[in-house]
Structure formats: C-alpha cells, structure tokens
Amino acid sequence: MLRWVDARAAGPQRWGRWLFVAFLLAEVALIALTRLTAAAPNGGDLCRDFVDAQRLLHGQDPYAPFASCGDLHHSPHPPLALLLVVPLAWLPIGAAAFVWDLLMLAALGGALWLVWDELRPQVDPRWVAVGLAVILVWTPLQDTWLEAQIGPLVLLLLVLAWRARRHGQAALAGGWLAVATLIRVYPVLLFAYPLLRREWRLARGGVIVGGVITLVTLPLFGVPSYLRYLFVEAPGASAEWVNDAHNVAWRGWLGSVFVGSNTIHPLLAAAGVVGPLFGSGVVVALAALLWRGWNARAAVLGTVKDDAVWLLGIPVMLLVSPLAWPHYFTVLLLPWLVVLADAARARRMTPSAWLVVAAVTLTEVHALGLRVLLPLPRLLPWPAGVFVFMLPFYALLLSFFAVWCAVGQESGEIPKVLREK
C-alpha cells in the first residue's frame, strides 16, 4: 500500500531527482510527437505573436490587422509577450513553435522544482511518480504544447513571486508579479492581498519593474501601437471569442447558457442578461477575495493561511477574466501543489486536497467528452455546453473552494457547505 508520508527523509529527494529527469525526458518526447503529428503547420496560437514579432523586426506596426493565421484575426497579447518571441522570428514557424515549447518545458520544470524545494514534502516516491505521471498526460498541458502557449512561463513567474514573498523579499516578489502582469495582465489581482497587508515594498517593486519595462518597450513599439493594443486588439479578441464554447471563465459559462455558439445551442436565448450577470459575478468574486484577504491580513508570512489567501487570487483571476481557455490551468499547479503539500504535512487527505483531485478529474473528463462530441457534424444541444464544455469552469470553482478551505483548515474554520457534508 502506498504511504502518504515517507519516513526516510532523504528518500524523496534522492528519488525525486531521477523521477523528475524521467518526467522531463518524457515531456520532450511528447512535445516532439505533438509537433510531428497533431500541431497545426502555422504554429497554432503562436502564429499571431510570430507574425507580430516579424513585423517588429522589420519596423512595421506589430498590431496591424493580419489574415495569415486562419481564424485568428487579433493580437491580444501585450508588448512584452511579443518581445519574447522576437528571437524565434528568424526560424520557420514550425521550428519556432518546437523551440518555444522546449523553453516552456524548461519553465515548467523550473517551477515544479522550485515548489518542491520550497515545501520539501516528505512524500513516498511512488506518490511523486503518480503526480508526475498525471501532469505528464494532463490535457491542459498537452494543449499548451499543441498551441505553443506561454502558460508555463507565467507559472514560473508566479512561483518566483510566491517564493520571494515567503522569504521576505517583498520588492523582488513585486518585480516578478509585474513581469507576469505585463505578459498576461490578469496576475495583477495578486497585488490585492499584499496591499491589504500594507506590503508597500512589494507594491513599489512592482511599480518600479513595471515602469522600467514599459519605458523600455514603449520606444520599440511606439505610442500608436501601444494604443492600438489597448483599445483595438485586446478588446477585439475578447469580443471575437467571448462566446466560444471553449471559453471556460464565468463569462464563457454565461455565454453557453444564454447565447450559445457555432458549436452548441443555448439553454435560454437571453443575451441581454449576460452583461449584468457577468458584472455581478465579478463583483462577488472580487469581494470574496478582498474579504478573505482583509480577515487574514495579520497572518504570519509564509504560513499555510498566508499562502492560501494570496494564492486564492489565481483561480479568481481566471474566473473573472473575459476569456479563459483550459490551457490557462497550468497556473493552477501552484495553488494545487501548495494544498497537496499541506495535506502531506497533515498526513491525511484534507478537504482541500480532495477538491484538488476532483478539479483535476473534471479537466480530464472534459477532454474525453470533447473527443466524443466535437466530431459530431451538427449543432449540439445545450446540455453539451453546460455539462461537458463547461467542466473546466466547474474545476475552477472547485479550485477556488480548495484554496478557500486551505485557509480554514489552519484556523479551524471549515466552510459551512463542507461541515454539512
């Protein structure tokens, strides 16, 4: 029988290194197989950034309209994200996507190793092997390789910020958060809890790093390109895809129920209620985040309670974003691993740990369901959207409650909904 905690202190570290190397080699093989057999020849989602980077190299407006990436017509990614692609713009798009995936694998490996090194959970090596095997075949990560996404780099930046903050390096943590925000915008929510705790050094670090990067990138792009990104490209991408059946944020769920898409029928055709309901949901989610942060502002830095309240911003930022795709879930690995490490310390499966397991399971059931439904040559009935396409949305909700419960587990508070069960 597998033991949750290994009594041999050195065992997990020794075995962990070999398991980790095997995991990385297996991921390299999967990436190569994906590029050879399944990936689009135009580089998937990387195509937009690749075209923009080439334009930047030739002195053209990177955010000008384009029609060379299939049904992708807008560039929703901030200037810093485009600059990261510039070194690859000299390669053919297929080779660039492969190199990009390898770089993202390095970021993922770095993030996982930093979390392991920081928490050092004394877990039986066989449980480590099971966890790495789940990550290896986890569908959101496979989608990341397929579309050449940037999620692992955002995860690494969040891990670096989390680790720096735990070690009292507030300014450095703010700097890492600023870089993550300039790449994907939504990590800005992770400044909320430190501000409630009056961690002014973290805020100053974020402002300084963010300001310096903006001052450096502004001359490279020019003011018109910056304005075009802010007021044309980013809003245009949201408007174009917000009702897509694969949008798994709160706004995507509302779209599936009240608007529908070219894939599914709506449950009730009532597009007029979507805006008010979305706004109300965002207010409720942000209010819950701020309320939790305010009540925990005296928590000792680096404890489970402090970690959980800060990391609660990760599922919240995905829920309230107008767009969230399943491959965004790579950033959830940080709060999930913190919750599971806390369960390892408790030597039992806590309510939070069970919620994490349920969330991961839903993402895989979602992938299996899509394999059945997407080949069907017809508009799908509304249950397909609410009960299959939106399973990652429910996984997001479970992730939110998993981290929420992690706060209560240390303070003795368990949410009423779990006490009643």
Domain ranges of the chain: 242-421
Looking at residue 302, its amino acid is G
Higher pLDDT pick, 372 / 11: 372
Predicted confidence (pLDDT) at residue 12 exceeds the cutoff of 80: no
User: Would the pLDDT of 235 be above 90?
Assistant: no
> What per-residue confidence (pLDDT) applies to 386?
84
Per-position b or e across 253-285, b if 16+ CB within 10 A of its CB: bbbbbbbbbebbebbeeeeeebeebbeebbeeb
Q: Picking from 15-24, 27-36, 128-137, 153-162, which range would have the lowest pLDDT averaged per residue? A: 15-24
Query: What CA–CA distance (Å, rounded) separates 209 from 77?
Result: 19
Distance from C-alpha of 119 to C-alpha of 136, rounded to nearest angstrom: 21
* Whether pLDDT at 154 is above 90: yes
Per-residue model confidence (pLDDT) at position 247 = 93
Does pLDDT of 416 surpass 90?
Answer: no
Per the document, the length of the chain is 421
Q: Which of 96-110, 132-146, 338-352 has the lowest mean pLDDT?
A: 338-352
Computed over every residue of the chain, the mean pLDDT equals 88
